[in-house]
Structure 1
Amino acid sequence: MKSLTDKQQQLWEYILDFYEDYSQFPSYEDMQEAFGYSSSNSIYQHLQALTKKNYLAKHGRGHYDIHPSKRNELSGFYPGIPVKGRIAAGAMHEAISENLGHLPVEIHPETSDHYFALIVDGESMIDADIRDGDYIIIDPREPGDGEIGAIRYRGETTLKTIRKRADGITLQPENPSFDPIDITPEEWEKVTVYGTYVGKAWKKGNDWGLIFRAG
C-alpha cells in the first residue's frame, strides 16, 4: 500500500473522526473550514490521492466514501444511511448542504454503502408516490431516461423525472399542477447531478424500513 503524505494523513484522520461522529462523509465545506483552505482545489487534490491509494472510493460526480478495505479503521461506526439535506419537489430551492444525521437502516453495504438520503419538500412528485416529508434514498449516479433525478439547476435543487429528447432534457414533475422544465443539451452539461432516486424509507413506531423502486 502506498504511504500517505503528512497532509493526506491529516485529512484521512479527519475523515475517520468525522465519520465516527456523524456517520457520514464530510462535505467540501467541512474540510475546507477544518484545514483553513481558501478554495476547494487543495481538498480535491488530496481526495484524488486518497482515492488512488485505495483509502477512498469515488461514486458519481464528486461523491466519496471510505474504501471497503479501510472500513476496519473505523471504530464504532454505525452503518446507517446518511441524511444529507432537503430537496425540493415543487419550487426549486438552495443546494443540498446540511448534515442531518442518518437513518438507522443498513442495505447491502458491500455494494450500496455510498447511498444517501434526502428529505422531500413539496408535492410535485406525488404520482410517483413521493410526498412532502418523505425520506428518499439516492444512488449518486446520473439518472437515465425515465428515472427520477436529484439535481441542481441554475443554483437550485429539484427532484424530477428525467425525460431525454432529441433536442434536450425535460424535468418532468409527477403532479399535473406543476409545469415541466425544458433544458438544452448545453445547459444539461452545467447541471450538478446529485444522483438517482432508488427508494424511500418508512417508519412505523420505532422501526425503520426501506422500499425500493421497481426496476
Structure 2
Amino acid sequence: MDSLTPKQKQFYDSLISFFRRHQRLPSHREAADINGLQSKNSSLQYHQALEEKGYLERDESGNYRFTSAVDIWPGSDEAGTSIPVLGEITAGAMQEAVQADLGEITFSHLFPNVENVFALRVKGMSMSGLDISDGDYVLLSKTELRNGDVGAVLYNGETTLKKVHKEKDRIRLKPANPEFDDLVIEPDEAEEVQTLGKYLGHINQHGLFKSPY
C-alpha cells in the first residue's frame, strides 16, 4: 500500500470515522460535506486515489469498500482508540429503537488517569483463577498496592503478577491458581520488593476485562 498525502489521509480518516458510526461508507455527497468539498466529483477523485493506493476497492456492484488489508475496527491502528456510541437502549420497558450519534467512548472513560496506565504481557498460568492466561496483556496503573491488591512487583531482579498480602513485617505473594505455591518474603528482604503497578484488567483475543477488585 502506497503512502497517502496529508489531504488523502484526512479524507481516508473521515471514511473510517463515518464507517465506525454507521457501519457503512458515506455517499460521495456525504463524504464531500464531511470534508468541506464543493462537489461530489471531488469526493470521487479522492476515492479513486485511495483505490489506486490500495486502501479501497470496489465490489461486484461497483461500490467502494475497504480492502482486506485495512483493519478499521476499534482497537486497530487505523481505528484509533475510541468506540462510537450509536444511541440508547432501555433496561426497563421496551421502547422504540432510535439511532443517534452520542459521541465516543475513549480509553480514558474506561480507565481514569489513563496517563498512568501501562501494559505487560503475561507469561505463565499462575493467575488463571482470574482468567488471566499465558499470552494475555495485563493493564497496570502506576499506583501503590493496598493489602490484597493484585499487582506486578519486582523482587530479586525478577517480576511477577500476584495478589500481594502484607503479614506483619513479611509479604506474601499469592497466585490465583492452586497449582502454584505462595511466595513468602521474610522481613529482612521485604523492603527489596518494588511495586510496578496495580492490576486494572487484561486484554486477550476475547476482549477487554476489568478487574473485579
Superposition TM-score, scaled by structure 1 size: 0.46
* Bigger CA radius of gyration: 2
Q: Which of structures 1 and 2 has the larger relative contact order (alpha carbons within 8 angstroms, sep 6+)?
A: 1
Superposition TM-score, scaled by structure 2 size: 0.46
